[in-house]
Amino acid sequence: MDTQVLIVGAGPVGLILALDLGRRGIRTTLIEQKPQPAFLPKMERCNARTMEIFRRMGVVAEVRAAGLPENAPMDVYIVLSMMEPPLVRHGYPSVSQARFDDRATNDGSAPCEPYQLISQYTLEPLLKKLLDRQPNVTQLWGTEFLSLEQDGQGVTVSVRHADGTTGRIRSAYAAGCDGGGSRVRQALGIKLQGEGNLLGLRQAMIRCDELYERLPLGNGPGKGRHYHVADTDSSFLIVQDSTRHWTLHATVESDELMKRKFEAVVGVPVKYEMLSCNPWRQNLMLAERYRDRRVFLAGDAVHLVIPTGGLGMNSGCGDAIDLGWKLAGVLQGWGGAGLLDSYEIERRQIGDRNVGASRYATLGRRKWRELCKPNIRDDTAEGRRTRNVVSLVAGIEQRKSNEMVGAELGYRYVDSPVICDIPGGPEHRFVDYVPSTWPGARLPNVWLADGRPIQDHIPEGYTVLRLGGTQADTSALEHAFASRGAPVVRLDISDPVARDVYGHDLILLRPDLHIVWRGNALPENVDQVAAVATGRK
């Protein structure tokens, strides 16, 4: 084998998967057709769960330092223009305020890391820089995927290098992280299903150094992150992490009209440059499969969502982390075939739920946008009525796009072959997050007496949590894992808050902090629990 895992595509998902595999000691090769990360406007917010993952990977400080300053407001506005009083203001805390609020909340409902506004054009070079330090990962930029072949032992991928020469790379497993138009997915004959081409827009990247610092303009809104324009063109202005760059979305028909739209949205003369402008279409689609034998798919290659709720890249990060530890377990010899079988079972149901969550948020946005009439600016009774109705409906419906904590933190794997699942379970919610230790759920975060989150105390590998001072003998369960060569640690947490929130004396955690099993005494057949958790049942 030239490498143990070959990753196609160096967007955020491919980069995160490569980082995770590298830190687990897996020889990984990452190929990307572009010669370097592109300066393109795409995702612009890592949600709380993604930031928890970055913390666990040891890179959260670098991500914070590269993103929007922590004291910057995160408010969302609905406006007629940047000069006029906003129709709606939804206030959201800055990172520093969110961190303070989360630390003051210790009932399991708050994450250990708040969100972070960081643009994809910033995140990708940062992740690449972090990968440069990782000796287990080889990066081949300017290398194009051509085709693949599989056999019982591995995957052979044909590539074209930047100098025009071709070659073949042999790996035990491969991962297609190459976006919505995934050539890896196409090579596998896997189709996307759902609703395509729902709305056509243009997206422009605009540099305007003065706009953010001048806010508010006149009676317009203050500093924030999103400015939805109440017009008939679905206009939407987003501040990027530099605060000098903005992205504008609108359903206009030419690049020149995008410039005129930006000028109209701002409402006062400003110096600006449109750096790029490209069409895109809204889709709500899910791949029929996430895997074909030794090849796996992740990120936009398997789920396309409308960026309402910020569930695109963040869902892809979840894919990468789920896949990373499972590939590592199999390649290191302690993980069974069930680990890899569980990837599609677990992550496709989350992809399906997040497509649904995006649809839910999109319908909310569509509801108030459909009320925007050409008379919305008129100083007439009808114009005032239009503004009032839009303000009222948008004040309710727009929140659906910005308040997705349930989808971010509350996702739970159901019917997974590597979870000791039991019938029932809490309701899946998009908006509200209710902490739960039901098998399959992410371990809710609590702050311990030393001021640190419990996640910081949990090592890599499997963890047997003993809570509330219980003296239950868990050595048999630990031995069942150790006999399979699986990494396992017993961790005693006597803090009463943790026991109150988690509701059980014993919890078995996977490397990704999802719960395998819980109880107040060891299960009768600890060997079976270990077999399930390691995919060897």
- Reported as a single tens digit per residue, the pLDDT across 268-285 is 999 999 999 999 999 999
Which residues contact residue 401 at a Cβ distance below 8 angstroms, ignoring those fewer than 6 apart? 308, 309, 361, 362, 364, 365
Asked whether 184 and 145 are in contact (CB, 8 A), the reply is yes
CB 503 within 8 A of CB 470: no
Whether the predicted pLDDT of 429 surpasses 80: yes
Please give the torsion angle defined by the CA atoms of residues 170, 21, 182 and 300, in that order, rounded to the nearest 10 degrees: 170
- In angstroms, the CA 131 to CA 7 distance is 13
Please state, in angstroms and rounded to a whole number, the distance separating the CA atoms of residues 262 and 265. Answer: 5
pLDDT over 90 percentage in the chain: 97
Task: Give me the pLDDT at residue 537, please.
Answer: 85
Residue 144: pLDDT band by 50, 70, 90 thresholds?
Answer: very high
Distance CA 53, CA 415 (A): 24
Which among 37, 212, 203 has a CA at the least distance from the CA of 117? Answer: 212
Confidence of residue 199 (pLDDT cuts 50, 70, 90): very high
Cβ–Cβ under 8 Å, residues 354 and 49: no
* Single-letter residue type at 104: A
For residue 514, which phi and psi values (nearest 5 degrees)? -90, 150
CATH architecture classification, 3-67+118-195+284-358: 3-Layer(bba) Sandwich (3.50)
pLDDT tens digit string along 493-515? 999 999 999 999 999 999 999 99
Mean pLDDT to the nearest integer, 510-529: 96
Contact 64, 122 (CB under 8 A): no
Q: What is the pLDDT of residue 356?
A: 96
- Cα separation, 113 vs 382, whole angstroms: 46
The residue written with tokens 């993604």 in the block is: 50
**What is the 8-class DSSP label of residue 376?**
G
Query: In angstroms, rounded to a whole number, what is the distance separating the alpha carbons of residues 395 and 476?
Result: 56
pTM: 0.97
pLDDT for position 138: 98
Average pLDDT along the chain: 96
Strands 3-8 and 28-32, bridge-based pairing: parallel
**Residue partners of 388: CB distance under 8 A and separation at least 6:** none
User: From CA 416, how far away is CA 342, in angstroms rounded?
Assistant: 6
Buried b (16+ CB within 10 A) or exposed e, 79-100: bbbbbeebbbebebbbbeebbe
Tens-place pLDDT, residues 401-417: 999 999 999 999 999 99
Residue 332's alpha-carbon distances to 80, 156, 438, 484, in angstroms, are: 58, 21, 29, 11
The per-residue pLDDT for 308 is 86
pLDDT confidence tier of residue 39, bands split at 50, 70 and 90: confident
DSSP assignment letter at 325: H
Query: How many Cα atoms are found within 13 Å in the side-chain-facing hemisphere of 136?
Result: 15
Q: Is the pLDDT of residue 531 over 80?
A: yes
- Residue 519, pLDDT > 90, answer yes
Distance CA 164, CA 309 (A): 41
| Number of Cβ atoms within 10 Å of the Cβ of 462 | 23
Q: Which residue's structure tokens are 């630390």?
A: 103
Average pLDDT over residues 18-41: 95
pLDDT at 41 over 80: no
User: What are the φ and ψ backbone dihedral angles of 125, each rounded to 5 degrees?
Assistant: -60, -35
The answer to whether the CB of 398 falls within 8 A of the CB of 309 is: no
Domain parsing of the chain, residue ranges: 3-67+118-195+284-358, 68-112+199-281+371-401, 413-533
From residue 139, how far is each of 18, 22, 129, 234, 296 by CA, in Å?
9, 12, 11, 40, 19
Q: Determine the pLDDT at residue 420.
A: 96
Is 80 exceeded by the pLDDT of residue 336? yes
Taking a C-beta distance cutoff of 8 angstroms, is the pair 510, 484 a contact? no
Asked if the domains 3-67+118-195+284-358 and 68-112+199-281+371-401 are classified in one and the same CATH topology, the answer is: no
Q: Is the pLDDT of residue 248 over 80?
A: yes
User: What one-letter code names the amino acid at 19?
Assistant: L
Q: Is the pLDDT of residue 53 over 80?
A: yes
Question: What's the whole-number mean pLDDT along residues 187-196?
Answer: 97
SS3 letters across 378-400: CCCHHHHHHHHHHHHHHHHHCHH
Fold exhibited by the domain 413-533: Glutaredoxin (3.40.30)
Contact yes or no for 438/426 (Cβ under 8 A): yes
The distance of Cα 513 from the centroid of its chain, to the nearest Å, equals 16
The phi-psi region of residue 189 (left if phi > 0; otherwise alpha if psi is between -120 and 50; otherwise beta) is left
63 closest CA partner among 139, 115, 137, 7: 115
User: What CATH superfamily is the domain 68-112+199-281+371-401?
Assistant: D-Amino Acid Oxidase, subunit A, domain 2 (3.30.9.10)
Q: Which residue has the tokens 């050539």?
A: 183
pLDDT tens digits, one per residue of 380-401? 999 999 999 999 999 999 999 9
How open is the CA angle 13-16-21, to the nearest 5 degrees?
Answer: 125
